[in-house]
Amino acid sequence: MNAKRSCFVILMSLAALSPRTAMAKVDGVVNDQSVNVRSFASVSSAVATKAEKGKDVVVYGEKGDFYKVDIDDKNEVFISKQYVTIKNNYGIVTDMDVNIRDAASVDGKAIGKAQKGDYYATGALNGDWRAIQYNGSTAYIRGDFIDAPEAAPEEEDGRTLVINVAAGEKSAVSESENSQPPEAAEQATDAAYVRVTPYDGVNLRKEPSQDSSVQAALPFGTVVRVIEKRGEWVKVAYNGEEGYAKAEFTEESAAQSSRDEMAAQIISYAERFLGTPYRYGGVDLNKGVDCSGFVYSVMRNFDVNLGRSSRDMANNGSPTPRSELQKGDLLLFSANGSVISHVAIYIGDGRYIHSTESKGRGVSYSSNFNTFVSARRVF
């Protein structure tokens, strides 16, 4: 083998070994207490350390239901995706004429072009793709064409410059408490409740400022009670705490009590079928159902459309940390620690209703969370 070919082979081998060439790094925050940080992307893998709520992590990629992260002195470890909220940040485009697509795929329609040096408000990871805000909606850029800037976007008069994607020009957008007079009066809002709209969630801050500390990460779809509105911020109550979220990342919503009422109706309906035998592949709530058939048929009665299998249901709705479970949430379990194999409906107080072939119980109650993996909110 000649010297040039040897050099080429060595370089290609080194590139193949690099774990971070396919995706730009993004920042995330842990959204639950005492979260397991594992050595490999499996719930059966050894726990390398624990991460507390509010802990910052650097996300380098994903593998199945896990993010690959750096946290403190632990490099390239894994955290379940449901326990990490990707921060809304800025990304800088690293190449010319990069396609902006309407879906996280090369098959997605190209709806615009990004140029080298452009800044975008960025959101969640989606495989090799990164979500961005484009013309007021979510769009996608390949992760290897957008990276975290070495410094914050340039500032003028205390305002941060970001891309005005509708006009294709840079415009000043306030990101600090200085954007309003300190004495500005807090204004009441007509919306009694608001819903979180970015699917990667939104930070709940102690004060109405981007510089204020993060108290919690509100997951996508979370409905919270509004206390008052202050400029670009809305003060809300969440899990016994009060804090501020950017109003642009919320929308008016029906009261949480509406969801609670629906959850109560779903649970009451599900309980009508206690004792129905387990039947593999069954969807008849009176004659026999398997675990996913039971959940599918119950939810369909309330116009909640789900996938037919428990694995499909793992992709329905939005992820919900176990510490924030609400009645009606779907609970997903895995017998081997990696593949979803069971689903149930949470009914509160650490209990759920499901259809199980264990000991011939069929549709029954349980409080066994030994093989619990994740939860989804589907209405």
Which uninterrupted H or E stretch holds 289?
strand 288-289
Task: Give CATH for domain 89-173.
Answer: 2.30.30.40
pLDDT tens-digit readout, 49-101: 998 988 888 887 777 778 888 888 888 899 988 888 776 566 778 878 788 88
42 vs 239, higher pLDDT: 42
Give me the CATH topology for the region 21-86: SH3 type barrels. (2.30.30)
10 vs 211, higher pLDDT: 211
Mean pLDDT across 345-356: 95
Q: Are strands 98-101 and 214-218 parallel, antiparallel or unpaired?
A: unpaired
pLDDT tens-digit readout, 264-281: 889 999 999 999 999 999
CATH superfamily, domain at 177-252: SH3 Domains (2.30.30.40)
Mean pLDDT across 299-314: 85
Q: Selecting from 3.10.20.30, 3.40.1360.10, 3.90.1720.10, 3.50.50.60, what CATH number does the domain 256-377 have?
A: 3.90.1720.10
Distance CA 326, CA 242 (A): 19
* Token digits of residue 242: 């009060």
At residue 141, the pLDDT reads 84
377 vs 19, higher pLDDT: 377
Comma-separated ranges of CATH 3.90.1720.10 domains in the chain? 256-377
Comma-separated ranges of CATH 2.30.30.40 domains in the chain? 21-86, 89-173, 177-252
* Cα–Cα separations (whole angstroms), residue 179 to 182, 183, 230, 246, 341: 9, 12, 11, 13, 51
Residue 223 pLDDT greater than 90, yes or no:
no
- Under the banding of pLDDT at 50, 70 and 90, the label for residue 210 is confident
CA angle 107, 110, 115 (to 5 degrees): 125
